[in-house]
Amino acid sequence: MRKITAGLFISLDGVIGEPQDWHFPYFNDEMGAAVGAQLGSADTLLLGRATYDSFAGAWPEREAAGEEDAAMAKSLGDARKIVVSHQDLTFTWRNSEQLQGDLIEAVTALKQEPGDTDIAMSGSPSIVRQLLAAGLLDELHLLVHPIAVRHGLRLFDEGAEIPLRLISAQPFTTGVVHLIYGPAETTAEGGYDEAKTHLPQADQLTGGPAADDRK
Is residue 128 included in any domain, yes or no? yes
CA 208 – CA 201 distance, rounded (Å): 10
pLDDT tens-digit readout, 55-91: 999 999 999 999 999 999 999 999 999 999 999 999 9
- What confidence score (pLDDT) does residue 208 get? 63
**What SS3 state is found at 164?**
strand
pLDDT above 90 covers a percentage of the chain that reads 80
Range of the domain at 52: 4-189
Is residue 36 included in any domain, yes or no? yes
204: left (phi over 0), alpha (psi -120 to 50) or beta: alpha
Is residue 213 included in any domain, yes or no? no
Asked if pLDDT for residue 153 goes beyond 80, the answer is yes
Q: What is the mean pLDDT of residues 33-62?
A: 95
Share the mean pLDDT of the chain. 92
Asked if pLDDT for residue 134 goes beyond 90, the answer is yes
Check: CB of residue 23 under 8 Å from CB of residue 9. Answer: yes
Of the pLDDT bands very low, low, confident and very high (cuts 50, 70, 90), residue 212 is low
- What confidence score (pLDDT) does residue 123 get? 92
Closest CA to 139 of 20, 4, 14: 4
174: left (phi over 0), alpha (psi -120 to 50) or beta: alpha
How many independent structural domains does the chain possess? 1
Is residue 214 included in any domain, yes or no? no
Is residue 53 included in any domain, yes or no? yes
Closest CA to 10 of 120, 127, 152, 169: 152
Of the pLDDT bands very low, low, confident and very high (cuts 50, 70, 90), residue 189 is confident
User: pTM above the 0.75 mark?
Assistant: yes
Check: CB of residue 85 under 8 Å from CB of residue 98. Answer: yes
- What confidence score (pLDDT) does residue 192 get? 85
The domain spanning residue 161 has which CATH number? 3.40.430.10
Is residue 199 included in any domain, yes or no? no
**98 Cβ contact list (under 8 Å, min separation 6):** 82, 83, 84, 85, 88, 89, 91
pLDDT above 70 covers a percentage of the chain that reads 94
Is residue 139 included in any domain, yes or no? yes
Is residue 211 included in any domain, yes or no? no
